[in-house]
Homo-oligomer: A and B are copies of this chain.
Amino acid sequence: MEQSSLAGKEVAAAFVSFNSRYGAAIALHIQQGVNPTEWVTEQAPAPQDVHWPFFSSSFMKRWICKLAVVVACIALTILFLIPVVIVQGLTHLDQLETWFPFLKGVLNLTFISQVITGYLPSLILQLFLSFVPPIMIMFSSIQGHISLSNIEKSACSKVWWFTVWNIFFANALSGTALYHVQVFLEPKKIPQVLAEGVPAQASFFIAYVVTSGWTSISSELFRMFPLICSFISRLCCHNASDDLEVPSIPYHSEIPRVIFSVLLGITYFFLAPLILPFLLVYYCLGYIIYRNQLLNVYAPKFETGGKFWPIVHNSTIFSLLLMHVIAIGIFGLKKLPLASSLVIPLPVLTLLFNEYCRKRFLPIFEAYPTECLVKKDREDQNDATMAEFYEKLVTAYQDPALMPVQYSGSSDGRTSPLLHAANV
């Protein structure tokens, strides 16, 4: 079923429907043409999940976009060190006093100085961090994905690595950007540097769990930001429709936040066990609040199919490895070479476990097995509603470029690339 042909131009991409799930899987998993970059098959997203701009892009265009996004992410990560350095400056009050001498009287009050050193740094960091998920979504959307769910998944892992680098490492190592890069060029020194830097920042990260964790998860309940946005938009545009759209949970900003708490728990439980009760409160709050939000507030925008789980798995493995490296460094610093070398099997075992999971469980996230597909297909054969389903399927995917012109009045540039990019 060719999707789009307009004014003699043919779009080099199409949705193809199959009589059975098994047939679709065959077309999906076996390379079709001789040139693997010419004839690319992908699973079609759900109709409301399609991201049209890259629908008909060539392999090369998508590949180059992906490379550009990787470069942009690295640039953003490096640029973001500037606010992090400013935040680190706030924890050194004496520096602040030299910059702003008129604050001296205020800063000498115990309460004010406690607020500034304890809460302010992570609040400022939080403010800057709140810009990151939208930027990452933007990056992922120009990366060549054809579905919104894949964009969100890609943004989720981008935000996670960004958080690890710019919150954990930048704060734990608390030096200049150049210094960090040099440490990671000398892997031998990493355990030592981490063992020196990470325990020193324990109080910062406990405060981070309280301010960022507790606050953000509680504010999640009130949804202040969407409320304010909606209020402002109503004030400005009086013609806005009165019916509220049901929101969907922003996985790309929530999941990295939750798994970052796992990272803090795993890396700090033996350095500063005081972090554990705070994390316990965080997770209890999180369970109650997210349960309520998922059941009563959010409507799922797409079926994730559990595809976010590998991100959680990978980040947990990374946290465990980081904990082992820090342990090796700490025992090294305390002159306990035996303890240090007894830790070495742990990362090896963790990596082996990860490798086993990759073989045993990862294939299930990538493709459905024949056994399930054929079973489902057989169930479908006896299903009377299938004819109706196929009828609906024909009109399910509506290319925005083919919509009636008066309908696409609110087009935001999404319609144009589809027909111009037909260069395959």
Give the residues from 1 to 54 in chain A that come closer than 8 angstroms, CB to CB, to chain B.
Answer: 25-26, 29-37
Q: Given A30-B25, A30-B26, does the pair A37, B360 have CB atoms closer than 8 Å?
A: yes
Q: Which residues on B sit within 8 Å (CB–CB) of A367?
A: 30-31
Contact B187 A369 (CB under 8 A): no
Q: Quick one: copies of this chain in the complex?
A: 2
Most buried by B among A32, A182, A370, A371: A370
Which of B59, B363, B372 contacts A36 (CB under 8 A)? Answer: B363
Interface size range on A against B: 20 to 34
Q: Which residues on B sit within 8 Å (CB–CB) of A182?
A: 188
Q: Given A187-B186, A188-B182, does the pair A34, B364 have CB atoms closer than 8 Å?
A: yes
Nearest opposing residue in chain B for A372, CB measure: B34
Q: Which residues on B sit within 8 Å (CB–CB) of A360?
A: 35-37
A-B contact pairs, 24 of them (CB 8 A): A25-B30, A26-B30, A29-B29, A29-B30, A30-B367, A30-B369, A30-B370, A31-B368, A31-B369, A32-B370, A32-B371, A33-B371, A35-B360, A36-B360, A36-B364, A36-B369, A37-B359, A37-B360, A67-B352, A182-B188, A185-B186, A185-B187, A186-B186, A186-B187
19 additional A-B pairs beyond A31-B364, A35-B360, A185-B188, beta carbons within 8 Å, are A26-B26, A26-B30, A30-B367, A31-B368, A31-B369, A33-B369, A33-B370, A34-B371, A36-B359, A36-B360, A36-B363, A36-B364, A37-B359, A59-B359, A63-B356, A67-B352, A185-B187, A186-B186, A186-B188
Chain A positions within 8 Å of B, measured between CB atoms, are 25-26, 29-37, 59, 63, 67, 182, 185-188, 352, 356, 359-360, 363-364, 367-372
